[in-house]
Structure 1
């Protein structure tokens, strides 16, 4: 039976103790490098946080590793992105192989030089073999000033004195071979260096690298790109893998002039747009992934309720309906709160503050005022603004989470340390909420109204053309929150005319997205992806597309593009057949809404069957043939893909 051993860890610098989740580097904040803590330093003295032997020192001096007698690998990482400073701010006082004791000086760090270079000086302490050796890590209260050398954490570790030594040379050689092959071969490499956790390739053509396959390799934590480098995050075995890579590609590629970067790589405005779009989608899908399951389940429940109401089995005023609808609707209603938390973790903002911002955006009184034309226009300190309902919204809170890290960083610079814990969170919540409500809200209102009016005008000119346009763009409008102005038009049509042609087209877009994930379900061999894609398909057919959109289709971008093409075709068919909708319902579960009142099943219902099931078939076939392949699968063990984010 494995015995438990306690190991004390002290703070390596004077400063403010932080949770690892607050580090502005997703590789550390998401725990990919193991458990630990961080400190915002107030001076440059760095000491050993544990007793042990110095096992590795980064060539750029910004990080070093210490192994304790108990086999714990402790990484001390100084600053974010400081690897780019090539060691200039660091004076390392020890060398590899030295035995050090807790509190012993190991590095002098020039904070001014780091700040002048506009880098973050956060010092991180991480147990890089946490998964193998750590049972529990207990840390004292965060967000307080700690003196250098003070014990701040106790690790409960396994006693591994009898650990079996394994011959790992072949493992590293095999991993190196697979990385080189999937990065485009030795001929695609200008040079390669490494820091204490990752291989840093300078490639001739980054597009030749297969990110997904590399991320799937056993021994690779993730792939990221920053500063012209293609970075493969390995962890504590990076030295061994680097040596194996160099042995295979030749020493001429080692430590070459890193200014040699592919001049044929894509540059310019279009490349920047592509990169920004990719980053946005990456953040969006990663933020949604933790709640995809409950979103899909909630969507299915809402669909079942819609069917029960359509068949007059339940009344919308009954207690049963109200309670079940609250259960199904709550996840969507409070989506900004949940996304505030998950997006903040993804982007390095404060998750609690962003959850509060989400709560402010859907505060009942604001939602009530936004819902009435007479009260939606207001002002804040004389600044005119238009209130918008952010219930179920996605885009605004993602913007807030992105801004949050910059706002927090600014506030920490101007607010004294001893009052930060009180004033930084509330001021950050205040600033972010006002930016969204006063800035983003009116912009979304103007754009969405303009789009909606334009689409309605197109329908008057040509129902078929309108169906093509709405079918192709509506789900993109949903992503950016620009669809809200169409909903009142649909509601008004049904309330005043008893029907809505526009809602029939919106219904088609749900079927197309559901058909896309159904195709993924049919094609993929991945059991987890099969499970979530089937649930997302059922949810979409019930009228809720969020699980399909954010769980799969946007994640595999080509799936979304092909699904939108299918949706445009289906929308055009719906407009051509002039399919009408007689209730605020749709997709496959909402078929009673297409039965003409007083007439019953007739030409309109047949038009519904042709357009909706035709769209379903088109979407499934197109995505199955052209939209998805199993090569597109991302790393299973990486729930938050950090591709394209700039890290240390």
Structure 2
């Protein structure tokens, strides 16, 4: 398509020409370009290119938002022009070398936990569906009561909802080994050892039904079902230990000795040192998080709902994945989700107000799909394409997120999963909360929309920004 070919040429020109481009990759919505000198990027030119919904520099990459489908076609045109291309994962590895130590640490943290999220999303949906099916009103439609539900059916749903959390340390250790350069299958086995049936079950110990083992008379040893931090730390140390051992073992013995010595050393270290120490730290983090989330008068919702999208802008929001995973693992509920959902919905509400108020056809064409994207849980197009560009809509959206979060906190909404927000997020509230969930989203959207319409945007602001 000639239009996409022209856009590809304009993108290359706007980012400083071929000689300034190291590599090009893409994700679901964004073209990701690694450049030699970011000072050569003409931001204004990029934002004026047709179909561009926003652009920003983050995580060592210049990211241009095109949206789903469109980005694939632009990427193909750029590849056809002979530019160096990479997979998104390979480019991310290169980008990791850039940025501050904190940015690199957070990026690595995200690389460990993001691959685990899909199975936890599925588990959350299973929990929500079970909650829906087990409601008295739904059972009554089939002439049944709770006592009439087959025990085998309950057992089947428990397999669906409990497995991922019981074996969570295995998933965490596997992913950590993968990211830190170890052999993932060794990490998987180490994680499975941490939840071995031979160890006292941590939930049974907590309930007082079982006593922990005591090594040397004072070190408590239990299984670490649904635990995150011990497996994460064990994964980091284990991956580094495996690499160190491999360097010192003759190649002919590597296949036998490296896994043997790694697993032997790490299970001793994990059960006797890492597990007891970091399980205590983990419980402290969880206690602090639940204390904040339980602050009275909706204070938690105001703080988290108001600041969440500021954190998204900085790119360090993935660090909260561990918190959500811990909440779900320990309590099978996630009060954080409803609050941050309001923050995302509010960005969509502000962008929708801009779309309806502006007389610019180009801005309308950008804002409407960006608002829809936010309502589907992806806020970057709205954030970087519209709200941050004009400033005040972003502030109004933060207020809307705080208001929605305030009500969500007062209503004590709790998701059955994570990672799904706004419209898709309704699937996590099927256990009798869905109407309240819709209500808090509408509040966030309405507040952001009205404030943006009245005080946050006018075409005069647009003209001033684009001078």
Structure 1 length-normalised TM: 0.40
Contact 1:353 1:425 in 2 (8 A): yes
Contact 1:386 1:442 in 2 (8 A): no
Hey, what does 2:181 align to over in structure 1? Answer: 348
Question: Are 2:200 and 1:362 equivalent residues in the alignment?
Answer: no
**What are the superposed Cα offsets for residues 259-314 of structure 1, whole Å, 9 maximum, x if unpaired?**
xxxxxxx7xxxx332332233224432x23xx72x554443332121112122735
CA distance in 1, matches of 2:416, 2:124: 16
Name the one with the larger strand percent. 1
CA distance in 1, matches of 2:328, 2:171: 25
Hey, what does 1:95 align to over in structure 2? Answer: none
CA distance in 2, matches of 1:326, 1:369: 18
Q: Secondary structure of 2:201's match?
A: helix
CA distance in 2, matches of 1:339, 1:518: 33
Hey, what does 2:281 align to over in structure 1? Answer: 443
CA distance in 2, matches of 1:467, 1:200: 37
Name the one with the larger helix percent. 2
**Deviation for aligned residue 1:350:** 0.6
Distance 1:411 1:396, change over 3 A: same
Deviates more, 1:415-424 or 1:403-412: 415-424
Hey, what does 1:217 align to over in structure 2? Answer: 75
Hey, what does 2:407 align to over in structure 1? Answer: 573
* Greater RCO structure (CA 8 Å; 6+ sep): 2
Hey, what does 1:465 align to over in structure 2? Answer: 299
**What are the superposed Cα offsets for residues 590-618 of structure 1, whole Å, 9 maximum, x if unpaired?**
227xxxxxxxxxxxxxxx955x3332225
**Deviation for aligned residue 1:411:** 1.2
**What are the superposed Cα offsets for residues 362-390 of structure 1, whole Å, 9 maximum, x if unpaired?**
33454623553466876555774675744
Distance 1:463 1:227, change over 3 A: closer
CA distance in 1, matches of 2:187, 2:156: 28
CA distance in 2, matches of 1:337, 1:569: 39
CA distance in 1, matches of 2:442, 2:176: 35
**Deviation for aligned residue 1:619:** 5.7
CA distance in 1, matches of 2:257, 2:245: 9
CA distance in 1, matches of 2:134, 2:246: 53
1:309 to 130, 134, 154: 134
Distance 1:484 1:299, change over 3 A: closer
Hey, what does 1:629 align to over in structure 2? Answer: none
CA distance in 2, matches of 1:211, 1:396: 35
Question: Are 2:312 and 1:479 equivalent residues in the alignment?
Answer: no
CA distance in 1, matches of 2:215, 2:237: 21
Contact 1:504 1:580 in 2 (8 A): no
Which sections of structure 2, spanning at least 5 residues, go unmatched? Answer: 24-32, 42-56, 66-70, 80-84, 140-145, 309-316, 353-366, 388-393, 418-425, 451-467
2:152 to 319, 332, 335: 319
- 1:255-334 → structure 2 map (5 Å cutoff): 271-285=100-114, 287-288=115-116, 292=118, 295-311=120-136, 313=139, 314-315=146-147, 318-334=151-167
Which sections of structure 1, spanning at least 5 residues, go unmatched? Answer: 1-172, 194-198, 231-265, 492-502, 538-547, 593-607, 626-648
- 1:163-242 → structure 2 map (5 Å cutoff): 180-181=12-13, 183-185=15-17, 202-203=36-37, 205=39, 207=57, 210-211=62-63, 217-218=75-76, 219=79, 220-222=85-87, 223-224=91-92
Q: Which has the larger radius of gyration?
A: 1
Contact 2:202 2:222 in 1 (8 A): yes
Distance 1:403 1:366, change over 3 A: same
Distance 1:224 1:569, change over 3 A: same
**What are the superposed Cα offsets for residues 514-537 of structure 1, whole Å, 9 maximum, x if unpaired?**
969999xx99989xx99xx99xx7
Contact 2:173 2:231 in 1 (8 A): yes
**Deviation for aligned residue 1:353:** 0.7
Structure 2 length-normalised TM: 0.53
How many equivalent pairs are there? Answer: 346
2:429 to 588, 611, 621: 588
Contact 1:201 1:229 in 2 (8 A): no
CA distance in 1, matches of 2:383, 2:189: 31
Hey, what does 1:640 align to over in structure 2? Answer: none
**Deviation for aligned residue 1:349:** 1.8
